Amino acid sequence: MPQLPDVPLHGLYGESIMDHFRSPRHRSALASSDIETEEFNPFCGDRVILQIKLDDAGRITQVSSRSEGCSIIQATASMMAEALLGKSLAQAAALDHAFRAMMRGESLEQESAPELGDLVAMQVVREYPVRIKCALLPWLALEVGMESHQLGQAERD
Amino acid sequence: MTTATSAFDVARIREDFPVLQQMVNGKPLVYLDNAATSQKPQSVIDTLVHYYTSDNSNVHRGVHTLSQRATEDYDAARSTARQFLNAASDQEIIFVKGTTDGINLVAHSYGRQHLGPGDEIIISTMEHHSNIIPWQVLCQEKGAHLRVIPINDAGELLIDEYERLLTPRTKLVSITHVSNVLGTINPIEQIVEMAHSRGVPVLVDGAQAAPHMAVDVQKLGCDFYVFSGHKVCGPTGIGVLYGKSDLLEAMPPYQLGSEMIKSVTFERTIYNDLPYKFEPGTPHIAGAIGLGAAISYISDIGMDRIFAYESELLRYGTERLSAIGGLTLIGTAAKKGSVLSFVMDGVHPHDIGTILDAEGIAIRTGHHCAQPLMDRFGVPATARASLAFYNTKEEIDVLVKGIDRVIEVFS
């Protein structure tokens, strides 16, 4: 993997991002899901289809995160899918909150902040303000999906 | 090299553009986003500074000296624009905000007046959104229909299909002179002739033509011609709508206010003569005067020389980019302006744009406000290098090196 140290890319195309871009995780569609959303950015054609399967305890047991577009959205979608597995929706919301805070350059209180894992690599995108929206699209899909799931739950209750 | 290009002193011309003399990300700026907007020569910057420093005043109102100076310069800019397009008279030159504003003016004024249920407007697949949406909305409002001329894989209009689309229901043809994505130069004279033989007027979107070639509206025969100041080295927020005077005379005003009136009582208003009928309110005086300076600047270089030089740049750029494996040029018309749109296997245009920016190279990436055209070619977006007369072959070499870097990162 060429790192091009003479190019001032701040590691934008570094090992972790390019690994998730080249070998995206959890891209197979799920036959059935509890949450399903699609988000699209008409300005660049970036697209993400997110599916989540929950168990009876409300934990995420399966994720499908299919994205089209640039390296940033594809890597984020892959990393997000990996990070979501095994979490409750409340933990997923906390992860979303922590990721957005990182992208704004804010530091969260250590004890309450969930582990971002590979997602930490995405903070380089802050150096490229016009590309931040690429990194946020999968999270928008997650938020929209969780919101409509909660609305659906509320209606059933 | 042809005589026209060898005589072209690009090094000398580049000295006129202060913005080009800078480093971006530690590299000399290579500005290849001219289809989005052009850079400004010192003479245009000086004209704007001089206007606000010495002459700032309102036009066509005061009897004082400053107002007279501002009015003279404003009127002179209109004459300069008339000469640039070879219009028959100054009153056929309406100052507007830009191409989008000019098209909206015609849609609202001429379109509303002439369009009825079942009528049709013809556009093409390669139109910018600005030359789609005003007509689409007008058609929805009037119960009329939009008809679209298809293109071939090279990005050229299918003239036979156009012929078939022209019917007694056709009320207007609105077509781009040069495509902002493909670079295709459309055969406007032929398009106009075919429309006129059926009594149909033609609007030409000249946003991507006026900066690069000599435009003669009388030779083209078109009824309306629109272009933006900021793409011809002038300021933003100013542009020109040319219209044949008999058409403009018969059209109702688009926006209402002062300057566009002859007399006002609370019962009725008598509209002013052309061009003022279409210029309500205090106009963009500095912008118009700056546009005049810009037109003078490029006219002094010579539009035919600019076209010849850019054609040579395009030929060189096409040759170099075509040789890159995994790169596909979008838009390969036989008659083409200086636009190089491309896609690369396995690399999204945004990634191309970011990596090139790190090399100091400015290109545009995205759908270029032409989503139906992207759909036609089955791509979500392209990377686009668009050339101007102040670009050089050396800059194209830097672009090619930058693209090599993209391949290296994504290999």
Is A87 within the bounds of a domain? yes
How would you label B368-393 residue by residue, b for 16+ Cβ within 10 Å and e otherwise? bbbbebbebbebbbbbbbbbbbbbbe
Is B222 among the catalytic positions? no
> What CATH number does residue A104 fall under?
3.90.1010.10
Residues in chain A: 157
Tokens 């290098």, residue located? B385
Is A60 within the bounds of a domain? yes
3-class DSSP state for residue B232?
Answer: helix
How many Å apart are CA B371 and CA B126, to the nearest integer? 9
Residue of B139, B222, B233, B369 marked active site: B369
Question: Å from B375 to nearest chain A CA?
Answer: 11
Region A141-156 average pLDDT: 92
* Residues in B 297-356 with any Cβ partner in A closer than 8 A: 348-351, 354-355
- Of the candidates A4, A8, A44, the beta carbon closest to that of B366 is on A44
Same domain, B195 and B317: no
Is A2 within the bounds of a domain? no
Give the distance between the most distant pair of CA atoms in chain A: 58
The amino acid at B180: N
A 10 A CB-CB count for B43 gives 15
Same domain, B204 and B258: yes
Interface test with B, best of A3, A13, A126, A127 (most B CBs within 10 A): A13
Residue of A nearest to B381 (CA): A44
* Enclosing domain of residue B202: 45-300
What is the predicted pLDDT for the residue at B272?
87
User: A105 is written with which tokens?
Assistant: 């350059």
Give the distance between the most distant pair of CA atoms in chain B: 73
Is A8 within the bounds of a domain? no
Q: What are phi and psi of B382, to 5 degrees?
A: -135, 165
- Of the candidates A7, A42, A46, the beta carbon closest to that of B405 is on A7
What is the predicted pLDDT for the residue at A7?
45
Same domain, B134 and B275: yes
Region A56-70 average pLDDT: 95
Residue of A nearest to B411 (CA): A1
Pairing of strands B23-24, B202-205: unpaired
Question: Å from A27 to nearest chain B CA?
Answer: 17
Interface test with A, best of B350, B368, B404 (most A CBs within 10 A): B350
What is the predicted pLDDT for the residue at B358?
93
Residues in chain B: 411
B355–A13 CB contact, under 8 Å: yes
Same domain, B338 and B364: yes
B409 contact A CB<8A: yes
Same domain, B122 and B62: yes
The amino acid at B124: S
> What CATH number does residue B360 fall under?
3.90.1150.10
Contacts of B26 in chain A (CB under 8 A): 8
* Residue A156 in this model has a pLDDT that exceeds 90: no
The amino acid at B377: F
Same domain, B97 and B192: yes
Same domain, B228 and B330: no
3-class DSSP state for residue B247?
Answer: helix
Same domain, B78 and B192: yes
* Residue closest to B179 by CA, chosen among B220, B123, B232, B127: B127
* Enclosing domain of residue A35: 15-149
Region A7-25 average pLDDT: 85
3-class DSSP state for residue A78?
Answer: helix
Same domain, B14 and B98: no
The amino acid at B38: S
B355–A9 CB contact, under 8 Å: yes
User: B62 is written with which tokens?
Assistant: 């005061």
How many Å apart are CA B146 and CA A129, to the nearest integer? 38
Same domain, B103 and B168: yes
Contacts of A42 in chain B (CB under 8 A): 367, 371
How many Å apart are CA A153 and CA A131, to the nearest integer? 34
Choose from A100-109, A123-132, B151-160 the range with maximum mean pLDDT: B151-160
Same domain, B253 and B307: no
Residue at a domain's end among B251, B282, B300: B300
What is the predicted pLDDT for the residue at A11?
78
- Of the candidates A4, A42, A71, the beta carbon closest to that of B351 is on A71
* Residue closest to B177 by CA, chosen among B144, B133, B137, B217: B217
- What ipTM is given for this predicted complex? 0.85
* Residue closest to B88 by CA, chosen among B320, B275, B329, B273: B275
Question: Å from B329 to nearest chain A CA?
Answer: 18
How many Å apart are CA B187 and CA B206, to the nearest integer? 13
Same domain, B207 and B250: yes
The answer to whether B103 touches B225, Cβ cutoff 8 Å, is no
DSSP B311-325: HHHHHHHHHHHHTST
How many Å apart are CA A89 and CA A150, to the nearest integer? 10
Q: Facing residues of B340 across strands?
A: B385
The answer to whether A69 touches A44, Cβ cutoff 8 Å, is yes
The number of folded domains in chain A is 1
> How many degrees, rounded to 5, is the angle at CA B110 between CA B105 and CA B115?
125
Residue at a domain's end among B269, B300, B331: B300
Is A157 within the bounds of a domain? no
Is A32 within the bounds of a domain? yes
Label residue B1 exposed, middle or buried (CB < 10 Å: 0-12, 13-18, 19+). exposed
> What CATH number does residue B107 fall under?
3.40.640.10
Is A7 within the bounds of a domain? no
User: B260 is written with which tokens?
Assistant: 């566009």
- Of the candidates A7, A18, A72, the beta carbon closest to that of B358 is on A7
Residue B4, CB half-sphere, CA atoms under 13 Å: how many? 14
How many Å apart are CA A128 and CA B268, to the nearest integer? 56
Residue at a domain's end among B300, B326, B343: B300
The number of folded domains in chain B is 2
The per-residue pLDDT string of chain B (411 residues; one tens digit each, 9 = 90 and over) reads: 444 445 799 999 999 999 999 999 999 999 999 999 999 999 999 999 999 999 999 998 778 999 999 999 999 999 999 999 999 999 999 999 999 999 999 999 999 999 999 999 999 999 999 999 999 999 999 999 999 999 999 999 999 999 999 999 999 999 999 999 999 999 999 999 999 999 999 999 999 999 999 999 999 999 999 999 999 999 999 999 999 999 999 999 999 887 787 888 888 888 888 999 999 999 999 999 999 999 999 999 999 999 999 999 999 999 999 999 999 999 999 999 999 999 999 999 999 999 999 999 999 998 889 999 999 999 989 999 999 999 999 999 999 999 999 999 998
Label residue A154 exposed, middle or buried (CB < 10 Å: 0-12, 13-18, 19+). exposed
3-class DSSP state for residue A18?
Answer: helix
The answer to whether B133 touches B274, Cβ cutoff 8 Å, is no
